[in-house]
Amino acid sequence: MDFSEKQLTEETNRLFQALKKTGWSKADCEVIAPLTLEINQIKKEKNTIILGHSYMTPDIMYGVADIVGDSYGLSKAAKETKADTIVFCSVHFMAETAKIMNPDKTVIVPAIAGCSLAESITTNDVRELRQNYPEAGVVCYVNTTAAVKAECDACCTSSNALKIIEALPQKKVIFLPDELMAKNLQPLTKKKIISWTGRCIVHEEFTPETIEEVRKEYPNAKILAHLECMPEVIEKVDMAGGTEGMIKYIEKTPAKELMLVTECGLSDRMKVEHPEKKIIGSCALCLYMKKIMLKDVLQALKSPTPEQIIDIPDDVIKKAKKALNKMVKITERYEK
Ligand code: SF4
């Protein structure tokens, strides 16, 4: 596609305004300007919405995404959109969630990217857990495949996990697949949580020593950690929660220095959206999320391959939707 000098200069300036806080130079922005212009033009022509997870690189979040958010926010956006096609810049299970919410829409992923949590459990594992604990309700974290969601009573995200566990009628709850999140949630509820053995390969890397080093270097910083970190880390921080909870905390706190113990995409996002604060990033990259690049978004928009188009059997959609709707219903009850 050809663009005029004026269009390219304006696009470079637009990108630089957003990305400079994350270390991008004007020359870097100049390089990607033709790509972002082309993607944004095609997306309009094809009535397509681009959703970007907070762990994407800043060029995707601020260059081409129409909505940036966490898994729950993006699932809601996917449900509400009037666009015919959704390009979901995130890992595969999240795009599956968008498809479950919108079976009539075309949902495309720019790269086939997994997740250590989603890959840690199969449908047979869930069935076996149910057999072993017939008296327990089953809550699955959103980081699971559509097929696993279809085997569960309710789905949850890191922001609403506790509310969902509390809302189930059973006294015992199988919480899967994140072992560390289950450990972090157990002290917050009287219910007995039965966990699985999945772990997020990004968040399990943080140690109590990481926090101690940050405290020494930035004694005034508030430290926020994701609930996928180990309990020994959570004990040492000022706030623990999901992505959305961390964002809300940053918006409200008078603290000027904040350290985010999570994937570095969120730190980039907060640097752009809160230039008045000093955000100390963690440099922890999710290799699954970072598989998606602008060139993949363009290719997927232009001519997606069959593997990039999310396809889920109808019976799985029906059952997984029940678990997701339960989460939405319970969460909305709390929001009222
Ligand atoms: S950050 Fe962890 S939980 Fe999120 S996609 Fe990557 S591996 Fe999965």
For the chain, give the percent of residues with pLDDT over 90: 85
Q: What is the pLDDT of residues 270-288, one digit of tens each?
A: 999 999 999 997 778 999 9
Instruction: Please indicate whether residue 168, judged by its CB atom, sits closer than 6 Å to ligand 1.
Output: no
The CA distances from residue 220 to 208, 211, 250, 320, in Å, are 18, 13, 15, 44
What pLDDT does residue 137 have?
98
Instruction: Please indicate whether residue 61, judged by its CB atom, sits closer than 6 Å to ligand 1.
Output: no
Tell me what the mean pLDDT of segment 175-192 comes to.
97
What pLDDT does residue 3 have?
94
* The two three-digit tokens of residue 46, written as one number: 């094809």
Classify each residue of 195-232 as buried b or exposed e, where b means 16 or more C-beta atoms within 10 Å of its C-beta: bbebbbebbbebebebbeebeeeeeebbbbbbbbbbbe
Average pLDDT over the chain, rounded to an integer: 94
Residue 175 has pLDDT above 90, yes or no: yes
What pLDDT does residue 191 have?
98
In whole angstroms, give the CA distance from residue 78 to residue 285.
Answer: 25
Number of H helices, E strands in the chain: 15, 12
Q: What is the pLDDT of residues 97-129, one digit of tens each?
A: 989 988 999 999 999 999 999 999 999 999 999
Give 52 Cα–ligand 1 centroid separation in angstroms: 14
What pLDDT does residue 284 have?
87
In whole angstroms, give the CA distance from residue 52 to residue 113.
Answer: 14
Amino acid at site 84: D
Instruction: Please indicate whether residue 206, judged by its CB atom, sits closer than 6 Å to ligand 1.
Output: no
Q: What is the pLDDT of residues 11-66, one digit of tens each?
A: 999 999 999 988 999 999 999 999 999 999 999 999 999 999 999 999 999 999 99
Residue 200 CA, closest ligand 1 atom number? 2
Give 13 Cα–ligand 1 centroid separation in angstroms: 32
Contact (CB, 8 A) for 228 and 144:
no
CATH topology of domain 118-200+312-335: Rossmann fold (3.40.50)
Give 115 Cα–ligand 1 centroid separation in angstroms: 5
What pLDDT does residue 107 have?
95
Q: What is the pLDDT of residues 63-103, one digit of tens each?
A: 999 999 987 788 788 888 999 999 999 999 999 998 998 89
* The two three-digit tokens of residue 256, written as one number: 């000027």
Residue 203 CA, closest ligand 1 atom number? 2
Contact (CB, 8 A) for 61 and 268:
yes
Residue 263 CA, closest ligand 1 atom number? 1
**Domain locations in the chain as residue ranges:** 5-113+289-304, 118-200+312-335, 203-280
Amino acid at site 322: K
Residue with CA nearest ligand 1 atom 2: 200
Instruction: Please indicate whether residue 289, judged by its CB atom, sits closer than 6 Å to ligand 1.
Output: yes
Contact (CB, 8 A) for 110 and 297:
yes
Instruction: Please indicate whether residue 202, judged by its CB atom, sits closer than 6 Å to ligand 1.
Output: yes
* The two three-digit tokens of residue 45, written as one number: 């022509």
Q: In CATH terms, are 5-113+289-304 and 118-200+312-335 the same topology?
A: yes
In the block, which residue shows the tokens 């009037």?
A: 82
Contact (CB, 8 A) for 3 and 37:
yes
Structure confidence at residue 334 as a pLDDT band (50, 70, 90): confident
Instruction: Please indicate whether residue 91, judged by its CB atom, sits closer than 6 Å to ligand 1.
Output: yes
CATH of span 5-113+289-304: 3.40.50.10800
Instruction: Please indicate whether residue 193, judged by its CB atom, sits closer than 6 Å to ligand 1.
Output: no
Structure confidence at residue 331 as a pLDDT band (50, 70, 90): confident
Tell me what the mean pLDDT of segment 130-148 comes to.
97
CATH class, 203-280 region: alpha beta
Cα–chain-centroid distance for residue 294?
18
Instruction: Please indicate whether residue 113, judged by its CB atom, sits closer than 6 Å to ligand 1.
Output: no
Residue with CA nearest ligand 1 atom 5: 115
Instruction: Please indicate whether residue 153, judged by its CB atom, sits closer than 6 Å to ligand 1.
Output: no
